Amino acid sequence: MNPAGLRADDFWIITTAVLCALSCALLGVPLVLRRMSLLGDAISHAMLPGIATAFLLLNSRALGPMLAGAVVVGLLTAVLTAALSRWGKVPEDAAMGVVFTSLFALGVILISMAASQVDLDPGCVLYGLIEFVPLDRTELLGIELPRATAGLMGVLAGNVLLLLLFYKELKIVCFDPYLATTMGISAAAVHYGLMATVAATSVAAFESVGAILVVAMLIAPAATAHLLTDRFSRMFLIAAGSGVLSAVAGYFLALNWNTSVAGMISVAAGVQFALAVLLAPRHGFVSRRMHQFLLALRITREDILGMLYRWKESAPSRGLGRAQVLAALGRGALPRVALETLRRARLIERRSDDTLELSPAGVAQARGLVQAHRLWESYLAKHLGLPLDHLHEPAERMEHYVGERLRGQLQSEIEQRSDPHGRDIPAD
């Protein structure tokens, strides 16, 4: 069926996708923080035999029995995984792999056998049939709406309610399960409660987006949010926003290319996560690399300034060659970049015989650095009693981090005018 032909139903499809994304994304936050993402994955696979059994026993697609069946099997997955790794001494990841793949295989077989009675095939178990959601309608409070949409509304309301009721408990368990236990909050109860909720949500969502794409909705928005914020409450909001964005963007992209809506939604969620991995302001790859680069550049620049200052101190007549500076700083582009930025900032000057010299502004900055270095050496010698040959290295590292205030404190602490090696400590 061509989804473009269902234009009148666009609204319901988008609503369903958004509801699904919201209920999953909210649950994803504790899953990601508690490092239980894969249990969510396992449960969304393993609930299949529960749903299939409910189908086979009752021969209907009523949401109630399906929810019950899936919650039972979902909890069973969590319990079996724990039991296998504790009593069977199977590694935990392998135990999870054994349990959910076996249950999923069982579910596939049950559904294949029931396929003649119920309109379900193993394929749509995986990627859902959100395009057909508007065809199966029901009535709620006098409004006619798709059955799946009504189910997801209920699940979302339930999730939000549970979240508001247990927000504090969830927060403590997420960040410090041991503290939670000492405070009388059962981490195990929260764990299994979460698992049951994940199972119920997966069931409601699975008809629309399928078992594997539920995983994308559960984990990706929450992980994206985790990269963008450090606050628990904000993480829920960002995860919800990211989920909704995936749903809407996924729908229109799929419409555009005439392809699977559910697949496109999970791709959209994955792309958002990839963007967050690369570009997140504090935890993103680019900003962290940038931060590291800028720090390395600053340290190299300061090392060059300090080197020139000390050279001038010991041999005022001769200049220090550019090649010598670069050789002392090691290979790579960083020293050249540092030199160039120093020259542009007019902190150093290059003379005609290719030697380098500090400008007046450069001298002032370098003096501060060397002062910090020698003050720190004096402090270490005075208060930690380090031997002379152990003073330089820590001071070499510390000089880049001694700010105005610390320098003032050190100055009032150290009365001598020279450092332990006998060199003058420059004054302001």
Partner 1 sequence: MDDFLRLILLRDANTRVVLLGATLLGACSGAVGTFAVLRRRALLGDALAHASLPGLCMAYFVVGDRSFVAFLIGAMIFGLLGVACVSFVNAQTRIKEDAAIGIVLSSFFGLGIVLSRIIQNQPAGNRAGLDTYIFGKAAAMVRQDVMLIITVSAVVLLLLTALFKEFRLLCFDRAFAASLGWPATLLDGLLMALICLITVVGLPAVGVVLMAALLIIPAAAARFWTEDLLRMVLIAAGLGGVAGLAGTSISAMMSRLPAGAPIVLAASAAFILSMLFAPRRGVVADLLRRRRLRLRVSRQNVLRALFEIQERSGSTAPAAFGDLLAMRSWSAAELERSLERAERDGLIVGTLDRWGLTPHGQDEAARVVRAHRLWELFLVEQADIAPDHVDRDADQIEHVLPPELIARLEQQLAAAGRLPKVVPRSPHPIREVMP
Provide the binding-site residues for partner 1, judged by CB under 8 A. Answer: 32, 35-38, 40-41, 84, 87-91, 93-98, 101-102, 104-106, 108-109, 112-113, 115, 122-123, 126-127, 212-213, 215-216, 218-220, 222-223, 226-227, 254, 257-260, 262-267, 269-271, 273, 277, 283-285, 288
Shortest Cβ distance from residue 115 to partner 1 (Å)? 7
| Cβ-based nearer residue to partner 1, 35 or 344 | 35
Q: H-helix or E-strand containing 350?
A: strand 348-350
State how far Cα 194 lies from the chain centre. Answer: 20
| Cβ-based nearer residue to partner 1, 126 or 410 | 126
| Cβ-based nearer residue to partner 1, 271 or 299 | 271
Residue 424's beta-bridge partner residues?
418
φ, ψ dihedrals at 145, nearest 5°: -145, 160
Strand 143-146 with 137-140, pairing? antiparallel
| Cβ-based nearer residue to partner 1, 64 or 123 | 123
Residue of 394, 375, 396 lying closest to 386 (CA atoms): 394
| Cβ-based nearer residue to partner 1, 150 or 222 | 222
Q: Which two tokens stand for residue 387?
A: 């031997």
Shortest Cβ distance from residue 126 to partner 1 (Å)? 7
| Cβ-based nearer residue to partner 1, 80 or 156 | 80
Shortest Cβ distance from residue 264 to partner 1 (Å)? 5
Shortest Cβ distance from residue 232 to partner 1 (Å)? 14
Show the CA angle centred on residue 424, arms to residues 343 and 344, nearest 5°: 5
Shortest Cβ distance from residue 38 to partner 1 (Å)? 5
Shortest Cβ distance from residue 262 to partner 1 (Å)? 7
| Helix, coil or strand: residue 207 | helix
Residues 6+ apart with CB under 8 A from 3: 13, 131, 254, 255, 258, 261
| Cβ-based nearer residue to partner 1, 228 or 380 | 228
Report the distance separating Cα 18 and Cα 26, nearest Å: 12
For residues 74 and 39, the answer to whether their CB atoms sit within 8 Å is no
Shortest Cβ distance from residue 37 to partner 1 (Å)? 4
Report the distance separating Cα 69 and Cα 128, nearest Å: 19
